[in-house]
Structure 1
Amino acid sequence: FVAPRNPTEMRLAAIWAEVLHLDSVSVTDDFFSLGGHSLLATQVVSRVRKAFDVELPLRALIEAPTVGELAVRVEAARGEAPANTRPPLVAVPRTGPLPLSFAQLRLWFLDRLEPNSASYNIHSGKHLEGYLDASALERAIQELVQRHEALRTSFHVQEDGTAVQVIHPRAELSVPVTDLRHLTGAALDTELERLISAEAQKPFDLTQSPLFRAALLRVTEQSHVLLVTVHHIVSDGWSNGILLREVGALYEAFSQGRPSPLAPLEFQYADYALWQRGWLRDAALEQQLSWWRNQLAGAPHALELPTDRPRPPVQTHVGATLPVHLSTEVTEALRALCKREGVTPFMVLLAAFQVLLARYSGQDDIVVGSPIANRQQTELEGIVGFFANTLALRARLTEKMTFRELLAQLKETTLGAYAHQDVPFEKLVDELKPERDLSRSPLFQVMLALQNTPRQPRTGARREEPAPAPGPVEITRGSAKFDLSLLLSDHGDDISGLLEFNTDLFDPDTARRLASHLSRLLQSAVSDPSQSLWRLPLLDEQERHQFLVSWNDTSRESHAVTTMHGPFEAQV
């Protein structure tokens, strides 16, 4: 352990300890070895901006992953004029209807095109074991809705056709309880699956508040399932974590007769929507857009994957999922490669996925979408709302390129995209004006997402944590926003998740085969990244035998024929 040696290192070490939940950090500890990842790195960068009044890109932490190395970068940046052009976030008066953020406006438009759709429901479930005070839980959820304005917001159209959001002073919300104690075995499992799926697929009316609901399923006296559903226009994946964390804190307090332990919020989502529209325009917007124009110039408008059925003339969203799991061996090799090459797990997974898509499609120019939290200021970390943005990440593959070379290219692409993530995807589509095709989503048709949570650190002492959260409930989505979506989670052990696919295009067997090919390709790539992209293996021995032997067994018994018409006579 090496203690901080100057004030800059002391402040940085304190920031790392806060973000990584550690008691102390050595100035020689590697941020990513301590459990850091790109999402936590973004939080470090935002805190560094606030503490030192300097603008460091995410690249700085990836290239200087220790406190000592980052302190040198901070000191160098302090002598420069801050490059940050963002004005401070301020609270605005709630004197009337407020504008929508750019992301909200897109979802509002999609809802007008396809009303009563559940495609943009965000649903989650938790198993709750032990005694449960249902009234305290309902009170906790009601307090949650009162605490976050986004949850009691509705959306309307003014006389001039402008969409506005209206924040209601209160929103009444009850938590219905369904008693399943009379069921056991297969009957219980069937009813649970039916209720969970029905809750997830129930649509919202955006003109009615709240766009949030909760339901409780009582399985036994000591076992319950809590279901939470919220419309994407007022929430995102990060917000979902806030909701579950805060309802737990509120329930614990209310069940013990104590008041809410949560500090009042300084800002709300409507403040962000006005702030975004106030600064992201003119020169600030142009500076961001110019990078994207250059990055996506000439990109293909479509990824032509082979499908099991013809593509419908209008894009559909009927979908299914299947589990994806990377073995411990592959996950450990992936992490070792990240450390050697100075990249993140997401960059490796993106490279492997894009190689697979190139091999399937025969194209060498691949664009994949990826969500990003887009909370670059500490003030936004505790607010519920739709902050998440989508990045269009492009890979250009050449004939002799190795996996290592593609990884280096995607590192630059990803870091550049992170530095220009303020441009809303909606603005990007408007600016680039891609060829419109009702059968496909614009710019990309395939998505990759990696959900990060802090890993147990290898060094340093972690502060005592509360008891682990109850396990998640498996929810059948039944929809697919894109042709394919690879949705992975990195919890510090094996990387796993789901492959979501459009069932109007792909059969389950096709999706299952694609997932197995990705796992095999990734295993070979991380073990030897010097291999050619086009020689990374996809097939297992059974598939190789089927392709090369079984399907090539075309020999037939032949008979001696002396005339041209002899075979015709024999056939007759």
Structure 2
Amino acid sequence: MWDSARRHLREQLRLERGLPSLPGESVCGPIPLSATQMRMWHRELTTADGRFANNVAAPVVLLGVLDRPALEYAVERVVRRHNALRTAFEETPEGPRQRVRTVGGGGRITYEDLSGGSPEMVDRRLAATVTERFDLTAGVPFRVVVFRRRPDDHIMLVVGHHLVLDGRSLSVILVEVARCYTEYLDGGPVRDDRPIVQLDQFVRWQGDWMRSAAAVPYERYWRSVLADPAFRRFGAHPFRRPSADDHSGGRVVCRVSAEVAARVDGFAAAEGVSSISVYLAAYQAVMEGCLGQRHVVVGIPAVNRGRAELADMVGLLANVLPVAVVEPASRTLRSAVCLAERSVAAAYVHQAMPIEHMTPREMPLLDPAESPIDTFFAAYRQAVPEPVLMTGLELGPWPQLRAKDTETPVMMTVFIDDDGADVRLGYGEWALSESAAHDLLAVYTALMDAGTRRPDVTLASLLGTVGAP
């Protein structure tokens, strides 16, 4: 492990020792929302009359004869296990509150026959289901819809509201549904393996420690980050959401060749940084060069599940860490990568405190439904996910959802594998056109190529040679 990584790990462990123990008892009665949930709640209220839905979803293709009673048993078991899937929200005189409902109510799994439908029609139905709004007062912020394409071909779509689910939660749910489905058909023993911590317990714990002395180092760090001039550009945001709700969007994809990816890895190793920092530094420069931003605030995802007892918890734990850079294109790739590595590592050390806890005090002019982040970036090394194994069924190709969460104006995701990298750019059509998104990706991949060949030339100069506007 690199020396810088060791230093940041030691700092994170030092801060973690200041955190109180996580609770092991259930919470009775209504409790306030977490800081991250509060922003999502305001977002829900401001988009109540539009087509925008604050939902997260995962589709899975199931090939073989589907056993409906087994699937219904599996879904009910998962709902019983996780309080988050039975949480209702309401406004009170004291502010918004959440309360866990008792098991029951049904209606979480439905079936729809799309036999004979065209692929385009199936895509439309998937997108419509993903964006269908939840009644958050009902205590059912989660549903499973099974689309039948042929007798031995189904798409199982898991959808939940972002108030109670994040991306990791979807993975937990899929694995548990598969395990319970198999348990039902194989007649295996029923295991009582409720997670150590529930979402309502975590929210109460997080609120307590953020009001304690243990939170002071975290507050000090995020206060210094939010003091950056990049966060004071009210009215100068490069992506202004239109006055009318427009939530259309799309995604374009390109490939980084194995040659360029190998050059990235070699350069990163020589500099003692992660290759992900190289991809991030180039993205920051492209955002400045192509969009005319002197200040760039890039959000990077943090799953916030470093503790073992949180690994298989269902709930909204993930947050987005802002990393601000002034004029990144004025730097060389060598300089920009080192800065990106330090900035991201420091942000991850302090990820236990969501930025939404600090923005109301440090940025009082910011709309509580909005984020101070301009654009988003995520990168992942190839990993083997936990298998979704269901007796009598095989998984088909993972379908892509056309529904786009355009709260994010532009988000780049890099998936690094053994033969290069796939770069995906999701965008809201109110922020970029499809042709502009393709052009941005072309500039990005060309900059990666040129930058790793000439790492001591400023990125602004290189952008001029690769056709950046």
TM bracket, shorter-chain basis? 0.7 to 0.9
Count of residues in correspondence between the two structures: 462
Question: Which amino acid in the other structure matches residue 101 of structure 2?
Answer: H
Question: Which amino acid in the other structure matches residue 95 of structure 1?
Answer: C
The equivalent residue for 1:293 is 223
**Structure 1 unaligned spans of 5+:** 1-29, 32-56, 64-72, 457-462, 548-572
Deviates more, 1:465-474 or 1:257-266: 465-474
Q: Deviations over 1:62-119 (max 9, x none)?
A: 89xxxxxxxxx89xx99xx887210111123443222322211221222122226543
Deviates more, 1:469-478 or 1:216-225: 469-478
Relative distance call for 1:351 and 1:189 in structure 2 (3 A) is same
Query: What is the aligned counterpart of 1:226 among 146, 156, 159?
Result: 156
Counting strand residues as a fraction of each chain, which structure ranks higher?
2
Deviates more, 1:470-479 or 1:227-236: 470-479
The equivalent residue for 1:556 is none
2:6 equivalent to 1:60: yes
| Aligned counterparts of 2:119 and 2:145: Cα–Cα separation in 1 | 17
The equivalent residue for 2:122 is 192
2:314 equivalent to 1:384: yes
Asked if the contact 2:78/2:173 (under 8 Å) is kept, the reply is yes
Amino-acid identity (%) = 25
What TM-score do you get using the length of structure 1 for normalisation? 0.73
Deviates more, 1:476-485 or 1:135-144: 476-485
Relative distance call for 1:345 and 1:480 in structure 2 (3 A) is farther
The equivalent residue for 1:131 is 65
Relative distance call for 1:423 and 1:464 in structure 2 (3 A) is closer
The equivalent residue for 1:5 is none
Relative distance call for 1:305 and 1:334 in structure 2 (3 A) is farther
**Structure 2 unaligned spans of 5+:** none
Relative distance call for 1:287 and 1:316 in structure 2 (3 A) is farther
Secondary structure of the residue aligned to 1:128 is strand
The equivalent residue for 1:92 is 25
Q: Deviations over 1:20-77 (max 9, x none)?
A: xxxxxxxxxx69xxxxxxxxxxxxxxxxxxxxxxxxx9931889xxxxxxxxx89xx9
2:79 equivalent to 1:149: no
The equivalent residue for 2:43 is 110
The equivalent residue for 2:184 is 254
Structure having greater relative contact order (Cα 8 Å, sep ≥ 6): 2
Query: What is the aligned counterpart of 2:401 among 444, 450, 475?
Result: 475
| Aligned counterparts of 2:118 and 2:431: Cα–Cα separation in 1 | 33
Q: 1:47-446 counterparts in 2 under 5 A?
A: 59-60=5-6, 84-115=17-48, 118-158=52-92, 160-171=93-104, 172-181=106-115, 183=116, 187-261=117-191, 263-300=193-230, 301-302=232-233, 312-313=242-243, 317-397=247-327, 401-433=331-363, 435-436=365-366, 441-446=370-375
Relative distance call for 1:488 and 1:121 in structure 2 (3 A) is farther
Question: Which amino acid in the other structure matches residue 431 of structure 2?
Answer: L
Q: 1:490-529 counterparts in 2 under 5 A?
A: 490=416, 493-529=419-455
Asked if the contact 1:58/1:418 (under 8 Å) is kept, the reply is no
Secondary structure of the residue aligned to 1:450 is strand
Asked if the contact 1:216/1:227 (under 8 Å) is kept, the reply is yes
Question: Which amino acid in the other structure matches residue 496 of structure 1?
Answer: D
| Aligned counterparts of 1:176 and 1:407: Cα–Cα separation in 2 | 48
What TM-score do you get using the length of structure 2 for normalisation? 0.88
Asked if the contact 1:250/1:261 (under 8 Å) is kept, the reply is no
Relative distance call for 1:359 and 1:210 in structure 2 (3 A) is same
2:458 equivalent to 1:532: yes
| Aligned counterparts of 1:523 and 1:497: Cα–Cα separation in 2 | 14
**Offset of residue 286 of structure 1:** 3.2
| Aligned counterparts of 2:356 and 2:15: Cα–Cα separation in 1 | 28
Asked if the contact 2:277/2:337 (under 8 Å) is kept, the reply is yes
Secondary structure of the residue aligned to 1:266 is coil
| Aligned counterparts of 2:375 and 2:329: Cα–Cα separation in 1 | 23
| Aligned counterparts of 1:378 and 1:221: Cα–Cα separation in 2 | 41
Q: Deviations over 1:503-525 (max 9, x none)?
A: 12322111110111111111222
